[in-house]
Amino acid sequence: MASVDIANQALIALGHQTITALTDTDVTSVRCNTIYNTVRKDLLAKHPWNFALKRSNLVDITRPDIDLWETATDYEVDDVAEFDSVHYTCLIANTSTDFAADLAAAKWETTTDWVTSTSYAVGDQIYHTGVAYTCIEPHTSGVFATDYGTNSYWVLSIDPEYEYEYAFRLPTDCLRVLSNYLDYEHKIEGGYFYTNASTASIRYIYDNEDTDTYDPAFTTALVTALAAALALAITNNRNITADMKQEAAARKIEALGTDAQGGGTPDEPRCDEWLNAR
């Protein structure tokens, strides 16, 4: 069932005319398009639906640990030091004085080991103009600005800062992490997965946009959730809105029951935030 069909079922439940496409510019289409993904993602994220689960080995994007540049220190050719979050390579053996002066005297250059026409694999780390990057898509390098910006083959490597030693990149389709393999202590902050383990594998709810894979009971729950979200704007009737919210809650409970019967060996009991709120 296509997304527009789900939206149309919600509109029919509200006694409203259907639309041709979510991307049309009439008022009803715009309303449906504005809230459709918000409602869909919210319903997906609130429960580990069997059709929306994935496992992934996360990509380590921890920035290499390099000593900070210090004054009155002896440096040799090819030594690498960090100054103001940028990594530099020593070109001339020297005893450091003032960094700006040493840089102007060509004793240092920004570290760059990325090269064009080279095959890079996921997890490879490079420097470009002194900044550390991690490869997230296998590719043969072309122009760095294009590979990094347009193609998104690279992400900035980051520092965990404190408490944790490693930073990992969460999948772009991750809505909620459910568990990590071997149950290492971890924190998820700012879209990153922090841990003291050198590897990380997770099980997570993903943003499954393929509506044909949805369980029929979930589709019904999504239809009623969308109808509840649209009800006041479409009908301008608070009683109908309240009824649709009750209907959406009932259909979600039915979908949860159906989902629990089709996932294989049951998981360990897991808190469901929505049910607890009841």
pLDDT in tens, 6-31: 999 999 999 999 999 999 999 999 99
Cα 213 → chain centroid: 21
Q: Confirm if 130 and 63 have CB atoms less than 8 A apart.
A: no
Strand partners, 140: 119
pLDDT exceeds cutoff 50 at 273 = no
- Give the per-residue pLDDT at 263: 63
**Mean pLDDT of the 86-91 span:** 96
Sign of CA dihedral 50, 51, 52, 55: positive
pLDDT (tens digit, 9 = 90+) per residue, 146-199?
999 999 999 999 988 788 999 999 999 999 999 998 888 999 998 899 999 999
Cα 136 → chain centroid: 13
- Give the per-residue pLDDT at 182: 85
Average pLDDT value over all residues in the chain:
93
- Cα–Cα distance, 23 to 19 (Å, whole number): 10
pLDDT (tens digit, 9 = 90+) per residue, 202-257?
999 999 999 999 999 999 999 999 999 999 999 999 999 999 999 999 999 999 99
Kindly list the domain boundaries of the chain, sorted by start residue: 3-49+215-277
Please state whether beta strands 166-169 and 108-110 pair in parallel, antiparallel, or not at all (unpaired).
unpaired
The predicted model scores a pTM of: 0.83
Please state whether beta strands 131-135 and 154-156 pair in parallel, antiparallel, or not at all (unpaired).
antiparallel
- Give the per-residue pLDDT at 265: 62
